[in-house]
Amino acid sequence: MSSPTLEDRFAGCLLGLAVGDALGARFEGRSPEGIAQQYLQPRDLSEHPPFGELWYTDDTQMMIGVCETLIACGEINYPELCRRFAENYELHRGYGRSTQLILEAIRDGHDHRMLAEELLPGGSFGNGAAMRVAPVGLAFRGDLAKAAEQARKSAQPTHLHRLGIEGAELLAAAVALASCTERFDRDSFFEQLQAVAPSLEYAGPLGRARGLTERRDLVLFGNGIAATDSVGTAIASFARTPDNYSETIGSVILLGGDTDTMAAMAGAISRAYLGRAAIPEKLLDALEDGPKGRRYLETLALQMCRRFSHRSNE
């Protein structure tokens, strides 16, 4: 089987994130036991997905804003990123209360930075910055230091806490590494990730993920909205089954909890490695295709590829 092209990887990453997000959204907040009454194995979710159209959440909508900013500016530009977030904002996508208020402040021309400090003294350590950062990993795939720096910038409108920002840096690095990989090397992958995220809160889970073999052990990594309870989970699921997108996203969805964001992050890494073709057509066909739906994501991926392919290390 030939390696995916760079364009396939870009499209796969964006679509893999959106599909994981939209499928996972059907199970958000449910318990593992409740999900297991319908789905016993990860592959069952792809083979027999919930009936009807799959609608993405704020995870994908904010990722689109990151993409649009990178295409327009060639890097993360804070004012442009804020403008894109505010323009794309649709409350029904499931935004958290704090993010909702911050985006509405941006939209209305108020001091959103002061508001962010008031809402979350010390900053948010949630996974909101990590869930949207995958395009940064694609854009700066040949330079992990640059990817981390741009990930920090992409987090700033909503996340000021060290752990929330570091989660975004780690996820961007995972996407960057996956998109450059021809044959997955677990040891090399984790060695490079641990250099990006030295904090004990991430170094410990990454060390455990390096040796993970059993799906049942994913529960040890967490399933919550904190970046420390979900970023490592997504990375661990990918590394356990790097050649199987359905297994990767299905495994984190079966954990329950913050299923949409975990599946979005895991799906982005998986498809950055495998490319677009391996996404089950049944899931792609079900993904919403409105003004900023599936075909728009494909267009963004092509524009991203053209904009940033010169930075590739391939």
Mean pLDDT computed over 112-128: 84
Note the pLDDT tens digit of each residue in 13-33.
999 999 999 999 999 999 999
Structural domain contains residue 1: no
Mean pLDDT of the chain: 94
Residue 197 has pLDDT above 90, yes or no: no
Comparing 43-52, 118-127, 165-174, 249-258, the range with the smallest average pLDDT is 118-127
Count how many domains the chain has: 1
Cα–Cα nearest to 150, from 128, 127, 167, 133 = 133
pLDDT band for position 309 (50/70/90)?
confident
Note the pLDDT tens digit of each residue in 54-64.
999 999 999 99
Q: Residue 18 is part of a domain; what is its CATH number?
A: 1.10.4080.10
Note the pLDDT tens digit of each residue in 144-184.
999 999 999 999 999 989 999 999 999 999 999 999 999 99
Structural domain contains residue 217: yes
134 in Cβ contact with 154 (< 8 Å):
no
Structural domain contains residue 297: yes
What is the rounded CA–CA span in Å between residue 38 and residue 289? 27
pLDDT band for position 314 (50/70/90)?
very low
Structural domain contains residue 301: yes
Note the pLDDT tens digit of each residue in 264-301.
999 999 999 999 987 899 999 999 999 999 999 999 99
Structural domain contains residue 138: yes
∠ CA 226-229-233, rounded to 5°: 135
Q: Which residues form the domain of 56?
A: 6-309
Residues 6+ apart with CB under 8 A from 144: 173, 176, 177, 192, 195, 196
Q: What's residue 313's pLDDT?
A: 43
pLDDT band for position 95 (50/70/90)?
very high
Q: What's residue 249's pLDDT?
A: 98
Q: Which one has a higher pLDDT value, 123 or 212? A: 212
Residue 187 has pLDDT above 90, yes or no: yes
Residue 83 has pLDDT above 70, yes or no: yes
Q: Which residues of 146-167 are buried (b: 16+ CB within 10 A; e: fewer)?
A: bbbbbbbbbbbbbbbbebbbbb
Structural domain contains residue 69: yes
In the 3-class helix/strand/coil scheme, how is the chain assigned residue by residue? CCCCCHHHHHHHHHHHHHHHHHHHHCCCCCCHHHHHCCCCCHHHHHHCCCCCCECCCHHHHHHHHHHHHHHHHCCCCHHHHHHHHHHHCCHHHCCCHHHHHHHHHHHCCCCHHHHHHHHCCCCCCECHHHHCCHHHHHHCCCCHHHHHHHHHHHHCCCCCCHHHHHHHHHHHHHHHHHHHCCCCCHHHHHHHHHHHCCCHHHHHHHHHHHCCCCHHHHHHHCCCCEHHHCHHHHHHHHHHCCCCHHHHHHHHHCCCCCHHHHHHHHHHHHHHHHCHHHCCHHHHHHECCCCCCHHHHHHHHHHHHHHHHHHCCC
| pTM listed for this prediction | 0.96
Structural domain contains residue 314: no
Residues 6+ apart with CB under 8 A from 182: 3
What is the rounded CA–CA span in Å between residue 9 and residue 13? 6
Q: Which one has a higher pLDDT value, 154 or 314? A: 154
Q: What's residue 1's pLDDT?
A: 53
Structural domain contains residue 46: yes
pLDDT band for position 114 (50/70/90)?
confident
Q: What's residue 113's pLDDT?
A: 85
Q: Which one has a higher pLDDT value, 37 or 2? A: 37
